[in-house]
Amino acid sequence: MPTFHDPLADAAEASEALRGLAHASRVFDNPADTYTVFGDLVAGVRSLRQVLDQLAAAHLAHRDRAHHDDGDHLAGAQSALAAADNLHQACTLLDQVHDRLSAAFSHSGRIAWHPEPASDRVAAREQTASRLDGLPVTTTQAGRLTLTVWPDTPLGEHQRYAYRITDVATRQELEGRDLFTGAGAPVDPDRALSELAGFLTAAGDARQYALDHPGNTPENEGLFPAWVADAARENADPLTVLSELAEHDPPEPEPEPVEWRWISVVFLQGSEADEVLDLIDAEGVDAAIEHLKGFDYGDETTQAALENGYVYDEPPTGARDQVVNDGGYALTYNPFAGDVGLLREHSTPPQDALDESGVVSAREATAGIGALEHTSAPAPRAEKAEAPRTGPPRAGARRAPDASWFTHPDIAAAKQARGLSR
C-alpha cells in the first residue's frame, strides 16, 4: 500500500506494481477490461510527469550541497543542473505520451465489445483438442497435479505455450495460453513445462506466506486461482524438483579456438601511394578503403600472402603510421613516408590431429622394419606466386617457411655437400 510520505518505499512499490501489470496484461480474456487499464495508465503517466518535475526541483534546490566523489563542488553543482535539465526534457516527452495515450483511451471508449458466444467457447475447446493431435504435447505428474504444455501461436519473437493444470483429486482443471519463453528461444516443451512448474512453486510459496502472515500480501499472490495455489502449496516438493530442471541446462560445447591473423592485400609506395593519400585528404579513409578493396581477389590474395609470408599477428606499423579498422580490413598509411597498405583479417582453424598410422619408431626404421615402400615421396613444392604489392614488406612480417621447414641452413649446406637428396 502507498505510504504517501516515503518516496523510497512508494517508488519501490510502483516499480513492482508496473512489473506485475506487465506480466498480467500479456493476455486479456475480456477485451473490455482494457478500457479500465487505459484509465489507470493515463492517471499513472500524469503522476509520473509530476514525479519527474519534483525530482528536477529537488536537484535545483539542493545543488549547493552537490559534490563529486573527489569533493569538487563546482562539478557537483554542474551535474545537478544537468540532471534537472534532462528531467525537464523527460517531462516534455511524457506530455506527448500522455496526449497519445489519451487519444487511444478515447478511441477505445467508443468500442462496444460483444460477449463471446458460448458456442464459440465450445468450438475453441474442440479446436484446441484437435490441434494437440499433431503438436509435441508434453505431460508430467507433480504430486496430484497433472501438467500439460504444447506450443501455441508465437507472439512476436516470443514462443507462446498453452497449458493445462489438472488436480486429479478434485478433478478441477485450468487452461491458459500466457506462458512465454525468451525472445528467439527455440520451441522446447520440456523447458516450458519446467517454467510452468516454477510459476506454480512461486504461487504455492505465496499462499503459504499468506497463511503464515495474515494481513500481508505476498509478491506472487494472484498468479493462479486460489485452488491452484493451494494445490501447488500441498505439492511443493515435486514442483520444486521439476522447476529446477530449467536451471540446469546442459552446457553448450565450447567452440574450437580460431586464430586470427592479418594478411596483406596491397602495399603501395611512390606515385601509386600518393593517389590514395590524395583520396584520403579529399574524401576520407572510408573512400580509400573501398578503393583498395579492389586489390582483394579473395582466396587468390590469401594464398599469395601466405606463400610470400605477408602474414602478421597485428597490422604492422611504423613510428608515424596511422591505422584505421573497418569491417575486417585495416588501412595503414603514412603521409610522411609516402606509403599506403591494406590488410584483411584471416582466420586460421585449429590444426587437425596428425595421422600417425604409418609412423614407425626410429629403432624400427634403422633396423629395416616397416613397409617403407608404402610411404610416398613428398610432392614438389610449387613456385611462389608474385606478391600483390609494390615495395618491400614492412618490418615484423611472418615469412612462410621454405620447403624444408625444420632444416637448419648449415645442415642443409652439409647435406648438399654430401650429395644427399632433400
User: With contact defined as beta carbons under 8 Å apart, do 311 and 397 qualify?
Assistant: yes
Cα–Cα distance measured from residue 263 to residue 168, given in angstroms and rounded to the nearest whole number: 68
Beta-ladder partners of 173 = 166
Q: Give the pLDDT score at 200.
A: 92
| Angle of the 236-243 helix axis to the 189-212 helix axis, nearest 10 | 140
**Residue 271 is placed in which grid cell?**
606515385
Q: Give the pLDDT score at 422.
A: 39
Element (H, E) at 139: strand 138-142
Domain boundaries, the chain: 31-109, 131-247, 260-351+380-418
Q: In what order do the strands lie in the sheet with 322-326?
A: 311-312, 259-269, 339-348, 329-334, 322-326
**Residue 184 is placed in which grid cell?**
528467439
Q: Give the pLDDT score at 413.
A: 46
Q: Give the pLDDT score at 418.
A: 40
Using DSSP, state whether 345 is helix, strand or coil.
Answer: strand
User: With contact defined as beta carbons under 8 Å apart, do 283 and 231 qualify?
Assistant: no
With cell 593519400, the residue in question is 277
Exposure string over 150-181, b if 16+ CB within 10 A, otherwise e: bbbeeeeeebbbbbbbbbeeeeeeeeebbbbb
User: With contact defined as beta carbons under 8 Å apart, do 87 and 59 qualify?
Assistant: yes
Indicate the pTM of the whole model: 0.35
Q: Give the pLDDT score at 150.
A: 85
With cell 549547493, the residue in question is 64
Model confidence over 185-212: pLDDT tens digits?
Answer: 788 888 888 889 989 999 999 889 888 8
Tell me whether residue 312 is exposed, middle or buried, using C-beta atoms within 10 angstroms of its C-beta: 0 to 12, 13 to 18, 19 or more. Answer: buried
At residue 53's C-alpha, the angle toward residues 48 and 54, to 5°, is: 95
Report, as ranges of residue numbers, the positions in the chain whose pLDDT lies below 70: 116-136, 246-260, 348-422
- Residues in Cβ contact with 212 at an 8 Å cutoff, skipping those fewer than 6 apart: none
What is the DSSP-derived secondary structure letter of residue 389?
S
Q: Give the pLDDT score at 402.
A: 44
